[in-house]
Amino acid sequence: MQSEKQSNSLSRKILQAISDASLVPFLAILTAVVLGGIIIAFVGGNPFLAYRGLIEGSFGSTKALSETAVWATPYIFAGLAVALAFKGGLFNIGAEGQLAVGAVSSALIGYALPEWLGFSLPTIIHLPLAIIAGMLMGGIWAGIVGWLKAYTGGHEVINTIMMNYIALNTTSFLLNGVMKDRSPTNVIARTPLIDESARMPAIFEGLRVHWGFVLALFVAFFIWWLLNKTTLGFEIRTVGLNPDAAQYAGINVKRTIILTMVLSGMLAGLAGSIEVTGLNYRHELGFSIGYGFDAIAIALLGKSHPLGIVLSAFLFAAMRNGATRMQFLTQMPVDLISMIQALILLFVAADAIIRYIYRIKAKGERVVLTRGWGG
């Protein structure tokens, strides 16, 4: 009897915590959707029809659901990448670049490794190798920035952005040169198709949703476990909250900063790998435009919590996926989605606006996400 009562109050507490945590994001989404509707009406569209198209296009059928999951997969990985860095007090704007170099590396291992070795590999070896290559490259790409931050104080915000442009230039160079698909009909900057042995199998026959989606959910759980149940996670969070206190407590702050960036980059690189091995079977220039910034929005909307990120990744995926149907029904350009997403981000970041509009009192202390130039 006693224990039943306790568990009852515990579950109520958990429910309360969830509703507290999701109230502001929910209202932010609602406000952005209403404002988006006003914009649609303003430019001569029917907002109800547009949103109906959005929902039909993203959840209306098995195929639509599968496509939403396909979109959500890289969003979950990239969102986790940004969120993990946030937890460590770092702002990783470079998910875009880390994703691109990850995708290129996976593609390279995917199509060229058997050629180099001179014999073909079974899927059980080839596929993991391709994925690990992408992860490692993403980790190195972000790790450079982490090292610069830890040892020289170079600010990660600008450095990750610079690494984005370096990644873009380098992949353009490679995809137009040594790694270009040499098939006679090809004029696009893209790699050859990866071997069958490096491809991820589909979950259901005839649908594009692949095992990468399941992996994304698993990785989200893993990151939650890492952050909350391990020493490393504790160190990352402590450095994120107060590096001076962490230093005083004997945590190696420099090492933790570098590790945080490497892990964050590995997640972003994984997003690229999975896109190559699970979906496109090659890397094409410009396929990832915008994932990096969307990932920031997803991490913020999900309050850097893995479960929140999975949910917000689904929301963003649904919007991207449903946009085509919306465009078909109302002739609203797909770019409208970016507008609504930007508004969501605005209201989530500036939760003071939402609290002001809906008269909600702030609870608890402010979460420090980033610090000024001084580091």
Helices (H), 118-155: 123-152
Number of residues that bind other proteins (CB under 8 A): 53
Give just the sign of the alpha carbon dihedral 39, 32, 340, 64: negative
Q: C-beta of 354: minimal distance to other proteins in Å?
A: 10
Single residue of 1, 3, 44, 361 touching other proteins by CB under 8 A? 44
Q: Nearest distance from residue 194's CB to other proteins, in Å?
A: 23
How does DSSP classify residue 289?
T
The b-or-e profile of 190-221 (16+ CB within 10 A means b, else e) is bbbbbbebbbbeeeeeeeebbbbbebbeebbe
Q: In the complex with other proteins, which residue's Cβ is closer, 165 or 225?
A: 165
| Structure tokens that stand for 375 in this block | 């580091």
Shortest reach from residue 92's CB to other proteins, in Å: 11
> Three-state SS for 154?
coil
Task: Give, as one character, the DSSP assignment of residue 284.
Answer: B
Check: CB of residue 277 under 8 Å from CB of residue 294.
Answer: no
* Cα–Cα distance, 337 to 322 (Å, whole number): 9
> Least Å distance between CB 355 and other proteins?
9
**Is 33 near other proteins (CB under 8 A)?**
no
- Out of 34, 158, 249, 357, the residue judged to bind other proteins by CB under 8 A: 158
Question: Distance between CA 14 and CA 7 in Å, rounded?
Answer: 10
In angstroms, the first-to-last Cα distance of the chain is 53
Q: In the window 289-308, what residues touch other proteins (CB under 8 A)? A: 290, 293, 296-297, 300
Minimum gap (Å) between residue 129 Cβ and other proteins: 27
Q: What residues numbered 199-238 form the site for other proteins, per CB under 8 A?
A: none
Does position 247 interact with other proteins (CB under 8 A)? The reply is: no
Exactly one of 191, 260, 264, 341 binds other proteins (CB under 8 A); that residue is 341
Q: How many CB atoms lie within 10 A of CB 311?
A: 17
> Which backbone phi and psi does 181 adopt, to 5 degrees?
-65, 115
49 binds other proteins (CB under 8 A): no
Q: Look up tokens 């090809």; give the residue.
A: 186
Binding mask 83-102 for other proteins (x = CB under 8 A): --------x-x---------
Cα–Cα distance for residue pair 323/295, rounded to 1 Å? 18
Residue 162 binding other proteins, by CB under 8 A: yes
> Which parts of 110-149 interact with other proteins (CB under 8 A)?
148
Among the listed residues 157, 203, 207, 311, the single contact to other proteins using CB under 8 A: 157
Given the rule CB under 8 A, which of 153-161, 180-188, 231-239, 312-320 is the region that contacts other proteins? 153-161
Binding residues for other proteins, rule: CB under 8 A, are 43-45, 91, 93, 148, 152-155, 157-159, 161-166, 169-170, 172-173, 176, 290, 293, 296-297, 300, 331-333, 335-336, 338-343, 345-346, 349-350, 352-353, 368-374
